[in-house]
């Protein structure tokens, strides 16, 4: 897992493992699809994931959509998520990466502590915890294990 402190010194995608880059790319695509950004609307939903993993990742997309809806309802505004081709990570993306790594490792308390930095309100934290847990599980099922510290 790449810690947030490490990310402050190396906030570039090229410094991340393949699995970490895939995680960031997936979060960026899901966030852009949800916001209706022009780049996202050009790609059909079925084109985001390989056909063999589509059903699992559809559940991830639904979980992220639910979490983003809750965020908009309770807090308003959007997350600080970069466009898919950006090389630098935002602090929000680094936090979501750390949370996904913790979730994949089965460290739920750590995952929630990390997410609480972004979402102190439990009505927002819970759906994001579910979303990153599903994302971590799907990545693992596809053979993409996030490196642990």
pLDDT at residue 34 in the model: 54
The structure's pTM equals 0.83
Q: Does the structure show a pLDDT above 70 at 8?
A: no
Averaged pLDDT for residues 35-60: 58
Checking 9-13 for CB contacts under 8 A at 24+ apart, the result is: 11/88, 11/89, 11/94, 12/87, 12/88, 12/89, 13/86, 13/87, 13/88, 13/89
Between CA 11 and CA 3 the distance in angstroms is 11
**Cβ proximity of 70 and 123 under 8 Å:** yes
Q: Does the structure show a pLDDT above 90 at 51?
A: no
Q: For the segment 102-149, what is each residue's pLDDT rounded down to a tens digit?
A: 999 999 999 999 999 999 999 999 999 999 999 999 999 889 999 986
pLDDT at residue 101 in the model: 98
Between CA 66 and CA 72 the distance in angstroms is 10
Residue 47 CB: number of other CB atoms within 10 A?
9
Between CA 100 and CA 89 the distance in angstroms is 15
Between CA 97 and CA 21 the distance in angstroms is 9
Q: For the segment 52-104, what is each residue's pLDDT rounded down to a tens digit?
A: 566 778 889 999 999 999 999 998 878 999 998 999 999 999 999 999 999 99
Tokens of 61: 């997309």
Between CA 50 and CA 53 the distance in angstroms is 6
């Amino acid at each position: 897992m790449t810690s947030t402190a490490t990310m402050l010194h190396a906030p570039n995608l090229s410094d991340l493992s393949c699995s970490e880059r895939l995680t960031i790319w997936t979060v960026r695509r899901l966030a852009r699809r949800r916001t209706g950004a022009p780049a996202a609307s050009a790609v059909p939903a079925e084109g985001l994931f390989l056909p063999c993993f589509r059903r699992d990742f559809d559940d991830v997309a639904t979980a992220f959509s639910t979490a983003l809806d809750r965020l908009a309802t309770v807090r308003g505004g959007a997350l600080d998520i970069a466009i898919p081709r950006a090389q630098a990570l935002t602090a929000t993306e680094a936090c979501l990466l750390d949370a996904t790594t913790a979730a994949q490792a089965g460290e739920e308390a750590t995952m929630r502590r990390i997410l609480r930095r972004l979402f102190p309100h439990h009505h927002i934290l819970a759906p994001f915890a579910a979303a990153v847990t599903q994302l971590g599980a799907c990545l693992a099922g596809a053979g993409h294990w996030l490196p642990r510290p």
